[in-house]
Amino acid sequence: MERVAVIDIGTNSSRLLVAGKSGDSLTAVESGLISTRLGEGMEGGALLPGAMQRTAEAVCSLRQTALRLGAKRVVAVATSAVRDAANKEIFLDLVRQMAGLQVRVLSGEDEAAFSYRGVLAGLEIEPLSTVVVDVGGGSTELIWTQDGRLRLASVNVGAVRVTGAGTGVKEVAGCLSPVLMEIKQSRAAVLVGVGGTITTMAAVDRGLVSYDPAKVHGYSLKAANVDRILKMLKSMSLEERKRVPGLQPERADIIVAGVIIVKLVMEGLGLGQMLVSDCDILYGLALEEVENK
């Protein structure tokens, strides 16, 4: 079984998927995540030197893991933080020098499309009635079908960006509202969520001490439970959040912003539950990679 690896350099974390292709199926061999907070302090529009250095080191480590696991090809992509940074070329050069990888910077639309493909590969759903939301660190991607065509939107609200900027709920809602109103006209009946914020919410809702993809993938997260989680987390100090089962300590400072985004999406679409998918952009990218051999 030939193995490929994909590294996703996000605003909050850098993630790895090593997958093997056998026939027409793609099987996950190993996944990994390193919290790098590349988008930290980006309010000025540039990536900070320390954030770039620690992220490049993380990418090196993930690449070494992929090679150790037998990946014949390792590809790397970057999303919101790098896409928006005025000094992105400095970071891309750093990764090229340290990890030997040419990073592909995805547009918001490409990011959404790969997330959507990953969801379709991992869940048996009807695409025509489904809207996919991917809440990341720097942006939120929404994908839906309207008039027989796939529609994609990327909104610059994410868990790290909203936390760092101190953006209020009304402002976040205002950013999301135009897209949500358009999606609502498509009469989508099923909402599927991907990304670290949403899988973390599922893990918290289930009280998972250790993250288990099998207990998160396909889980139905109810709107009432989203409200409960938000109320609980807002009432806690940072140190108290770090001890919540299912919540990684390094995500404790940004999780409230992420949950607010999810709540606003669900309310804006008028949908009372959300299916959680552990198959996301990494799966979509891995599928492209094996097809392009």
> Does this model's pTM top 0.95?
no
Asked if 25 and 140 sit in the same domain, the reply is: no
pLDDT category of residue 53 using cuts at 50, 70 and 90: very high
Return the DSSP state at 107: P
Asked if 142 and 83 sit in the same domain, the reply is: no
Of 17-26, 186-195, 214-223, 262-271, which gets the smallest average pLDDT? 17-26
pLDDT at 291: 82
Asked if 264 and 203 sit in the same domain, the reply is: yes
Asked if 248 and 171 sit in the same domain, the reply is: yes
Residue 105, token pair as written in the block: 């910077």
The answer to whether the Cα torsion of 243, 234, 277, 119 is positive or negative is: negative
pLDDT at 64: 97
Asked if 96 and 131 sit in the same domain, the reply is: no
pLDDT at 1 over 80: no
Return the DSSP state at 44: G
Q: Are 171 and 157 in contact (CB under 8 A)?
A: no
Asked if 160 and 92 sit in the same domain, the reply is: no
pLDDT at 24: 66
Asked if 100 and 130 sit in the same domain, the reply is: no
**Angle (CA) 184 221 237, round 5°:** 110
Instruction: Give me the domain span that covers residue 209.
Output: 123-280
- Count of domains for the chain: 2
**Does residue 179 lie in a domain region?**
yes
* Adjacent-strand bridge partners of 276: 193
pLDDT at 290: 85
CATH number of the domain bearing residue 150: 3.30.420.150
pLDDT at 292 over 80: no
Asked if 127 and 96 sit in the same domain, the reply is: no
The answer to whether the Cα torsion of 263, 139, 189, 275 is positive or negative is: negative
pLDDT at 5 over 80: yes
* Model confidence pLDDT, tens digit, residues 260-281: 999 999 999 999 999 999 999 9
